[in-house]
Homo-oligomer: A and B are copies of this chain.
Amino acid sequence: CSLTEKLSNASSPNIIIMLMDDMGWGDLGVLGQPSKETPNLDAMAAQGMLFPNFYTANPLCSPSRAALLTGRLPVRNGFYTTNGHARNAYTPQEIVGGISKDEILLPQIMKKKGYVSKIVGKWHLGHRPQYLPLKNGFDEWFGAPDCHFGPYNSSIRPNIPVYNNSEMLGRYYEEFKIDRKTGESNLTQMYLLEGVDFIRRQTEAQRPFFLYWAPDATHAPVYASKPFLGQSQRGRYGDAVMELDYSVGHILLWLKRLGIENDTFVFFTSDNGAALTSGPNEAGSNGPFLCGKETTFEGGMREPAIAWWPGHIKAGTVNFQLASVMDLFPTSLALAGLSPPDDRALDGLDLTPVLLNHPHTQGNRPIFYYRGNELMAVRIGQYKAHYWTWSNSLEEFNKGINFCPGEEVPGVTTHDQKEHTLQPILFHLGRDPGEKFPISASSHEYQKVLSRISPVVEQHKSTLVPGVPQLNMCDVAVMNWAPAGCEKLGKCLKVPKSQPWKCDWPH
């Protein structure tokens, strides 16, 4: 078929996945940000394919990233917790666990076809030595294992290290400045240079490459470099977006300069919805969608997404395929001419037919919305059924942590974990993208739709084998006291005695 021909002609294209941090669906001009500050991303969409129905696998950084690199739901790949019901767990530096050695990561398979892989930016799949990128298939790394929270007092909590490959180069707030007051930091510029340098080196060496470009400037504390600070209409967050947009444009420009734009598949997306609780100064926009990061409402899990591959993907197209960050795993493998592992369940879908044979779509593909160990909701076609609803606890809410500021849908944005398995709350996301008008349970439409959704959910639940949860245990002794390379730099800190505890995941 034409697809096979196209693929063989393309002969293992380079692959670049650009993953933003906490950037919302509504942060792109092409997706309705009123300040229209992303000319490069808008141009990327005009030259590529926009996916308005693209989802993350979890509304939080670590599990989302683990899902991207394994093609599997966090509940399968172990990036979840059983310490509480339906809790979002991630990898703060006191976490003991990380990506399981039983998981197969994308770059590990890509190696078989000679791909050289680099991650630039945030890893977030565990910071202990065995969990780091170079132990998990990547050939190169410039970035940090954890979020850039801080600064910390080194006797209580070390600052997060920044690595160059397998050794630390320094720490955030020490060698790698982030000015909490002004918001100034040069990190995005460094990530841009590291990405471009990698692309140039592999192009010169004529090796196919996989670049996982994961800057974190739009995650609180939000930062931008001096030339971008104060440039946007919406404060520091918009400044960070403008710098990322500039960087995306710069990378695409380099692909053209190097003459490899027809040989490089680029995909842009974000790891979870905008963190509205950081609003208004350090939060993005989820456009018309309900709530944000940490929730399984659309605002938490619908992501901006653009595929770009001149000469292969039809320019200026909008594809309504329901798709997921997990699809990037089998899709990247298919582009490289590789098969996914056949010894495990995969949740990702190979999108190459959808990408290359527009307007082909794969119907009936469900989207599962998980929070920790619980299936909170399911989308099939335009319908979304909520089996559990939860924004966050009233206790947290009263402390000022609000995942749905200014939004309140009675019975939907609940402050207790509310079960609806006997009568799921149903929305039509076409007519009602904001999840504000539940469809009456007594309507014919409800009955008809539920009879389509229920078997899919039952099938999913009955065949799902949860992985061993990796995010249950915490310990101060595992923090980044003495990362590899600290000796050379004189940056090792004293490791305290081990005192493991069950991590507390409040939401």
Q: Which residues of chain B have C-beta atoms less than 8 A from A428's C-beta?
A: 234-235, 280
Is A430 in contact with B26, judged by CB distance below 8 angstroms?
Answer: no
Of A233, A407, A408, most B-chain CB atoms within 10 Å: A233
Is A408 in contact with B405, judged by CB distance below 8 angstroms?
Answer: no
Q: Which residues of chain B have C-beta atoms less than 8 A from A353's C-beta?
A: none
A233, closest chain B residue (CB): B430
Q: A256 to nearest B CB, angstroms?
A: 20
Q: Which residues of chain B have C-beta atoms less than 8 A from A408's C-beta?
A: 406-408
As for how many copies of this chain the complex holds, the number is 2
Q: Which of A223-239 contact B (CB under 8 A)?
A: 232-235, 237-238
- Is A290 part of the binding interface, using a Cβ–Cβ cutoff of 8 Å? yes
Q: Which residues of chain B have C-beta atoms less than 8 A from A409's C-beta?
A: 406
> Which segment of A30-38, A120-128, A330-338 sits at the interface?
A30-38
Given known contacts A406-B409, A430-B238, A288 and B437 CB-to-CB distance under 8 angstroms: no
Is A288 in contact with B32, judged by CB distance below 8 angstroms?
Answer: yes
A435, closest chain B residue (CB): B406
Given known contacts A280-B437, A406-B407, A430 and B288 CB-to-CB distance under 8 angstroms: no
- Is A8 part of the binding interface, using a Cβ–Cβ cutoff of 8 Å? no
From B35, B238, B288, B382, contact of A285 by CB (8 A): B288
Q: Which of A352-385 contact B (CB under 8 A)?
A: 382
Q: Which residues of chain B have C-beta atoms less than 8 A from A235's C-beta?
A: 428, 430-431
- What CA separation (Å) do A193 and B280 show in the bound complex? 47
A318, closest chain B residue (CB): B36
- Is A310 part of the binding interface, using a Cβ–Cβ cutoff of 8 Å? no
- What CA separation (Å) do A201 and B50 show in the bound complex? 41
A50, closest chain B residue (CB): B36
Q: Which residues of chain B have C-beta atoms less than 8 A from A31's C-beta?
A: 32
Q: Which residues of chain B have C-beta atoms less than 8 A from A285's C-beta?
A: 288, 433
- Is A312 part of the binding interface, using a Cβ–Cβ cutoff of 8 Å? no
Q: A132 to nearest B CB, angstroms?
A: 37
- Is A130 part of the binding interface, using a Cβ–Cβ cutoff of 8 Å? no
- Is A287 part of the binding interface, using a Cβ–Cβ cutoff of 8 Å? yes
Given known contacts A26-B32, A31-B32, A287-B287, A281 and B431 CB-to-CB distance under 8 angstroms: yes
Given known contacts A26-B288, A36-B318, A52-B35, A437 and B405 CB-to-CB distance under 8 angstroms: yes
- Is A505 part of the binding interface, using a Cβ–Cβ cutoff of 8 Å? no
Q: A434 to nearest B CB, angstroms?
A: 6
- What CA separation (Å) do A487 and B93 show in the bound complex? 84
Is B280 in contact with A431, judged by CB distance below 8 angstroms?
Answer: yes
- Is A311 part of the binding interface, using a Cβ–Cβ cutoff of 8 Å? no
- Is A246 part of the binding interface, using a Cβ–Cβ cutoff of 8 Å? no
Q: A148 to nearest B CB, angstroms?
A: 21
Q: A119 to nearest B CB, angstroms?
A: 31
Q: A35-B52, A238-B430, A290-B406 are in contact. List 18 more A-B contacts (CB 8 A).
A: A26-B32, A26-B288, A32-B288, A34-B52, A34-B287, A34-B288, A35-B320, A35-B430, A233-B382, A234-B431, A234-B432, A235-B431, A238-B431, A279-B436, A281-B431, A285-B433, A406-B434, A408-B408
